[in-house]
Amino acid sequence: MTPETFAAKVSELEEELARVIVGQQDLVRSVLLGLLSEGHVLLEGVPGLGKTLLLRSLGDALGVAFGRVQFTPDLMPADIIGTNVLSDGGFSFHSGPVFANVVLADEVNRATPKTQSALLEAMQERQVTLSGVSHQLPRPFFVMATQNPLEMEGTYPLPEAQLDRFLFKVLVPFPSQRDLVDILERTTGVETVEIKPTLSASELTDMLELVREVPVGTHLLTYAATLISATHPNSPLAPDRVKSYVRYGASPRGAQAMILGSKARTLVEARTHATTEDMHFTAPLALRHRMVLGYEAAVDGVTADSLVADILEAHPAPTVTE
């Protein structure tokens, strides 16, 4: 598959999603970059902005197995991964909805931490273990999760260990007035739109493998390491506001996310080599949920995105030594 063919297939997928998702081109592109990097994506936004609709439509557009879990406070881990059931004088494993290629974890922060942690092994190891027996998950495997902002009633903060396993965190913005009018026209009439499968499982697998093959220069690898180091308050590379407001910086998974996302963006734009611009696009997606801010940041209204902007301003491009 050539970069041009890759880009054409992504464009076709975006056009199919645009039949139900009004506007939000950057949102859709960010989710697809996470998908093509074979990573998990977390969408955060207030209720009613179409988070679930987008991910459900993406599941319909992909020719792969799709599973959905609606997270609630009384949801148990067995409801996600499955359980052993006594039958015919022995126990047999009955798989849960996590045994799918694309798993929609809807309102993931409404479940208790015990249930949230049931996804940890599945997301990182792509397997689940029950009663000492490991069960492999299908490939490709993606968790696409939605969550409401933490100040909403009845939510539980996701543990840092689980947040780190999401390749990207995507913020869902409120639609513009023009898009809102278009949404009203589409959703208050009699016509309904059905998403048609656009990519087959084999095509998606080929595209995932092609992303891994995109070359990335050593200077960009070093630049990714520089940006990660700059998120740590004790690093000499950290801007002043990072030293003041950040308690813990991003893990090496943040650098992996930036590199993989840059590779995917390279092919989506029918190019053959990743650039610094790709790194700048993926940096907020990869870092905003991996920086642990202190109390002072909440008091002063400082966000992770503004700190990522400070880091990119302090380190706008790879240096000569990099």
> What residue ranges define each of the domains in the chain, with the CATH number in brackets?
3-188 (3.40.50.300), 205-314 (1.10.8.80)
| 55, 206 contact by CB (below 8 A) | no
The DSSP output letter for 109 is G
For residues 117 and 113, what is the distance between their CA atoms, to the nearest angstrom?
Answer: 6
Q: Describe the chain by its helix, strand, coil percentages, rounded to 5.
A: 45, 15, 35
Residues of the chain with pLDDT under 70: 150-154, 319-322
Beta bridge partners of 217: none
The first and second tokens of residue 25, run together, are 């081109």
- What's the predicted TM-score (pTM) here? 0.86
What's the pLDDT score for residue 222? 92
pLDDT of residue 153: 67
| Contact present, 224 and 236 (Cβ < 8 Å) | no
Nearest CA to 122 out of 207, 40, 32, 206 is that of: 40
Is 245:293 a contact under the CB 8 Å cutoff?
A: yes
Q: Is 110 exposed, middle or buried (0-12, 13-18, 19+ CB in 10 A)?
A: buried
Measured between alpha carbons, how far is 37 from 212 in angstroms, rounded to an integer?
8
CB contact at 8 A, 72 and 112:
no
Query: DSSP characters for 4-45?
Result: HHHHHHHHHHHHHHTTTS-S-HHHHHHHHHHHHTT--EEEE-
Given a contact cutoff of 8 angstroms between Cβ atoms, the answer to whether 286 and 258 are in contact is: yes
CA distance 18 to 102: 20
> Using CA atoms, how far apart are residues 223 and 220, in angstroms rounded to an integer?
5
- How far are the Cα atoms of 23, 58, 156, 174, 276 from residue 65, in angstroms, in the given order? 27, 12, 29, 30, 35
pLDDT of residue 266: 93
